[in-house]
């Protein structure tokens, strides 16, 4: 860094640096905005004008590699070209517009082989699945009258209704799994072609609504577990009937939390709020949605496996770029899709975030949660059961995802390419070796037949 040469920054004129420049750039570093022409064209124009470097201001805060097009086979650019975040570019331009002299020193810092953010994200993903699977076992409070756990009208205690039987559980079917993946593909294409700021805002609002509900459910359950008396106090509300006093107090807090995240979602600390809302949402989803057996799990995860690979690796052959990666980045909108966990790279001088999508946690998480229920129903222990081994399999699959990300120099990876074989493949092989494959495959069907045969 100390040996790097310093040069003065000069605004390119025209500012997009796509045509012959009228500004004097001799021995200076040009500052230009992104867009209107290829990065290579900007570099050639700035170099022809005498610049010794080029700073390209991105149109948002996330930074991406500047790549050459397929036709650029003989590029003669000898100066450094660096992309900088939108906020940094605005500050530099503001100084230069006011006549200040800005001296720039370009150097290439050393990047860590593995940033701690990847380790924390790995722990968050694995921990979310473990918590969701063990949620009822670890934090469910027997003294809480669950009829009043939500802000929805419930039947009174004298109606003879058993809440545990009426609890809303969505059981996934093989047909529903395929339809869901097809619908997700159509929605992804709509985002790819018609993504705009208002479209992303719709997703942000939906994420906030889901996050509020998820945080509310988690907090009510946790606090009722800690403060057992809170699970018994109720209040009568218009239109809602009798609800928990604790629930009434928590809902406004959850709403304020989600609104503050939405307002400050571009702040450096916004990832904390997004991850909290996202984890609560996924825990709630994994409590509400269930796989009845690995026959349905095979349909869902196999379809998701193909979905992930197609939209990351194969879609560039059809749409000229990876649809999944483009949508996740929120290209041309200045906004990013909130349906993911993210954490900043703490020790990477280039900054940025490590991320994992909700689907990479929820899809395998459904199978892991099923394995826990199967182990309990079959009275299996930790070692001869399936839950522990699927947790290990998911952790290994996620590790392989990050390893592939590193080996492929940061190119986006379809995480389910590694997670599905390490979870679905593992339970199928273990079930076959142990002789449980038939029971795993037809688990729900057999259970229902036993219930019908009982007097």
Span 375-399, pLDDT tens digits: 999 999 889 999 999 999 999 999 9
Question: What's the Rg (C-alpha) of the chain?
Answer: 27
H or E element that contains 357: strand 353-357
In this structure, of 36-50, 57-71, 151-165, 236-250, the range with the lowest mean pLDDT score is: 151-165
Structure tokens at 365: 């998480």
Residue carrying the six token digits 């679905």? 424
3-class secondary-structure state, position 84: strand
Would you state the pLDDT for residue 78? 81
**Could you read off the pLDDT of 115-160 as tens digits, one per residue?**
888 899 999 999 999 999 998 777 654 444 444 444 544 444 433 3
Write down the pLDDT at residue 240: 67
- What is the value of pTM for the model shown? 0.77
The pLDDT value recorded for residue 147 is 43
283: Cβ contacts below 8 Å, ≥ 6 apart: 128, 131, 132, 135, 214, 218
In angstroms, rounded to a whole number, what is the distance separating the alpha carbons of residues 381 and 376? Answer: 8
53: β partners: 29
pLDDT in tens, 421-433: 999 999 999 999 9
Which residue numbers are catalytic? 308, 360
């Amino acid at each position: 860094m100390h040996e790097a040469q310093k040069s003065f920054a000069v605004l390119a004129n025209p500012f997009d640096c796509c045509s012959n420049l009228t500004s004097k750039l001799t021995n200076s570093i040009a500052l230009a905005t992104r867009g209107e022409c290829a990065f290579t064209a900007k570099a050639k124009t700035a170099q022809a004008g005498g610049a010794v470097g080029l700073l390209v201001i991105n149109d948002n805060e996330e930074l991406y590699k500047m790549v050459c097009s397929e036709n650029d086979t003989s590029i003669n650019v000898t100066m450094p070209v660096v992309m900088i975040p939108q906020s940094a570019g605005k500050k530099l331009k503001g100084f230069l517009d006011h006549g200040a002299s800005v001296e720039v020193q370009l150097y290439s810092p050393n990047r860590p082989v593995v940033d701690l953010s990847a380790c924390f994200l790995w722990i968050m993903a694995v921990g979310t699945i473990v918590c969701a699977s063990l949620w009822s076992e670890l934090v469910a409070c027997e003294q809480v009258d669950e009829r009043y756990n939500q802000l929805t009208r419930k039947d009174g205690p004298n109606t003879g209704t058993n809440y545990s039987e009426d609890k809303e559980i969505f059981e996934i079917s093989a047909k529903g799994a395929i339809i869901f993946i097809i619908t997700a593909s159509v929605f992804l294409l709509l985002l790819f072609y018609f993504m705009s700021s208002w479209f992303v805002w719709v997703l942000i609002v939906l994420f906030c609504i889901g996050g509020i509900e998820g945080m509310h459910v988690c907090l009510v359950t946790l606090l009722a577990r800690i403060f057992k008396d809170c699970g018994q106090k109720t209040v009568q509300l218009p239109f809602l009937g009798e609800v928990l006093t604790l629930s009434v107090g928590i809902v406004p807090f959850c709403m304020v939390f989600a609104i503050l995240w939405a307002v400050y979602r571009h702040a450096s600390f916004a990832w904390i709020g997004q991850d909290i809302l996202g984890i609560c949402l996924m825990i709630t989803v994994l409590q509400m949605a269930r796989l009845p057996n690995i026959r349905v799990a095979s349909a869902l995860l196999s379809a998701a496996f193909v979905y992930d690979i197609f939209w990351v690796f194969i879609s560039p052959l059809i749409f000229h770029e990876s649809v999944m990666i483009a949508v996740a980045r929120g290209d041309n909108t200045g906004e990013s899709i909130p349906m993911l966990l993210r954490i900043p790279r703490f020790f990477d001088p280039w900054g940025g975030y490590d991320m994992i999508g909700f689907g990479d946690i929820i899809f395998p998480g459904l199978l892991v949660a099923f394995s826990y229920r199967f182990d309990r129903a079959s009275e299996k222990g930790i070692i001869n059961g399936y839950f522990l081994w699927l947790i290990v399999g998911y952790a290994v699959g996620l590790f392989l995802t990050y390893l592939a990300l590193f080996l492929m120099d940061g190119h986006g990876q379809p995480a389910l390419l590694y997670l599905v074989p390490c979870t679905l493949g593992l339970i199928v092989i273990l079930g076959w070796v142990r002789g449980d494959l038939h029971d795993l495959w037809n688990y729900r069907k057999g259970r229902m037949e036993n219930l019908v045969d009982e007097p």
